[in-house]
Structure 1
């Protein structure tokens, strides 16, 4: 379920769909029906699986740190620093970008913060916790 999740823009809708799918898979593993009315916490305790939101958030955080620390000149870092030309923008709220949630936790200079691995790792735990507590 998490293949390629490092590159996703995490949105509440995506997270909700993933959590619903994970709970359905856990119920199927245990042979539990929705009609059994067993709480999600109890199902999670029985399966001993990690929350999908927490897993995806930690994978994305690790990947972001890896991309920021790379110095070989590949296009990943260049794409993150690219700014589109100015001009007329479409009406409405802009779509969520990949870096938007990283900036909320690590600040606008997150690529420089990622250079310090211990600081980045400690911020990563807060980032993963933030997504696990939502939904």
Structure 2
């Protein structure tokens, strides 16, 4: 298979997967709690992939929060004109701010690094003896 055919097939699969997910997200008959679970398990990991080690400025964190809030409003079927607070929308979907999630994943990653360096250091000390 040629390279362009592979790329086209992967792009088609990604589009097909997004169509499947958007059917759940956009449907008004689907309960809000289920939409929140889909957001936590599909959308949020896609948005935060690789952010454990990438440096983010406050402006970029804010942009992530705004993009997530737009998606959440879209999922619930609320517009800015409805004047519903972000905290209420997040509470109904049972999700937290994405910047808090990124911060937690960074701390978790740092813990893994510290644990690994401690193991490596203890291994070196054992070899020297």
Q: Unmatched 5+ residue regions in structure 1?
A: 74-135
The match for 2:55 is 9
| Corresponding position of 2:85 | 39
Distance in 2 (CA, whole Å) between partners of 1:66 and 1:42 is 34
RMSD: 1.5
**TM-score, normalization: structure 2?**
0.52
- Among 103, 109, 117, the alignment partner of 1:63 is 109
Displacement after TM superposition at 1:31 (Å): 0.7
Bigger radius of gyration among the two:
2
Q: Which runs of 4+ in 1 moved over 6 A?
A: none
Aligned length, in residue pairs: 73
Higher RCO (CA 8 Å, separation ≥ 6 residues)? 1
Return the TM-score normalized by structure 1.
Answer: 0.50
Higher fraction of helix: 2
